[in-house]
Amino acid sequence: MSSPPNPMLDLLTQLGADKPEWQPLLDAMRAQQHTYAEELVDEPADQEPTRDELLLQNEQLVALLKRARHEIKRLDATVNALEQEVEATGQLHAELAAALGACPACWGTDRACPGCRGRGRPGAYPADQPLYAHYVRPAARRQQELARPGTTPAPAAVN
């Protein structure tokens, strides 16, 4: 059987057409709509809903809308957090590439890279000295210490 019309779901479906992150919510709303339609299976289809039924339906739509708003807020927060994480990761990625003198776009792994044509492996360019001192020198120093005979791999002291 088909579900009763749900203008809210239709609207959210339209608004969410280019928002894949909304799809789980919309699926949940559709499932709930379907369940609600099954609950009404005893009712003859040609009979007009009573006022109480309309009120109930309205209450359910309002409850759905509240849940949708809550879910959208939650998804927005998730998207914001992910955007911040992507930005931070991108910045670290760029800094490490500069510290190592690598192509920031592909690190020398992509022959089609317009910046380096696949030749931008670490060491391909002069390293950014402050970033080299921050990221690479301590790691290289530590590796040298560990390479000495009789050295146990304990954590390095924090400066």
CA distance 76 to 158: 38
Q: Say whether residue 97 binds Zn ion (CB under 5 A).
A: no
Residue 21 CB coordination number (10 Å): 14
Q: Which stretch binds Zn ion (CB under 5 A): 19-27, 36-44, 85-93, 101-109?
A: 101-109
Minimum distance from CB of 135 to Zn ion (Å)?
A: 19
Residue 99 CB coordination number (10 Å): 21
Among 116, 127, 128, 135, binds Zn ion (CB under 5 A): 116
List, in order, residues 6 or more apart from 141 with CB less than 8 Å away.
Answer: none
Task: Give the residue with the Cβ less far from Zn ion, 101 or 120.
Answer: 120
DSSP 26-63: HHHHHHHHHHHHHHTTTS-TTSPPPHHHHHHHHHHHHH
Sign of the Cα torsion 61, 64, 65, 66 reads positive
Q: Say whether residue 98 binds Zn ion (CB under 5 A).
A: no
Amino acid (1-letter code) at residue 98: A
Q: Say whether residue 120 binds Zn ion (CB under 5 A).
A: yes
Sign of the Cα torsion 143, 145, 148, 154 reads negative
Q: Say whether residue 113 binds Zn ion (CB under 5 A).
A: yes
Q: Which stretch binds Zn ion (CB under 5 A): 30-38, 39-47, 98-106, 143-151?
A: 98-106
Q: Which stretch binds Zn ion (CB under 5 A): 28-36, 37-45, 58-66, 102-110?
A: 102-110
Q: Which stretch binds Zn ion (CB under 5 A): 35-43, 69-77, 85-93, 97-105?
A: 97-105
Q: Say whether residue 106 binds Zn ion (CB under 5 A).
A: yes
List, in order, residues 6 or more apart from 105 with CB less than 8 Å away.
Answer: 113, 114, 115, 116, 120
Q: Say whether residue 90 binds Zn ion (CB under 5 A).
A: no
Q: Say whether residue 105 binds Zn ion (CB under 5 A).
A: yes
- The residues binding Zn ion (CB under 5 A) are 103, 105-106, 113, 115-116, 120
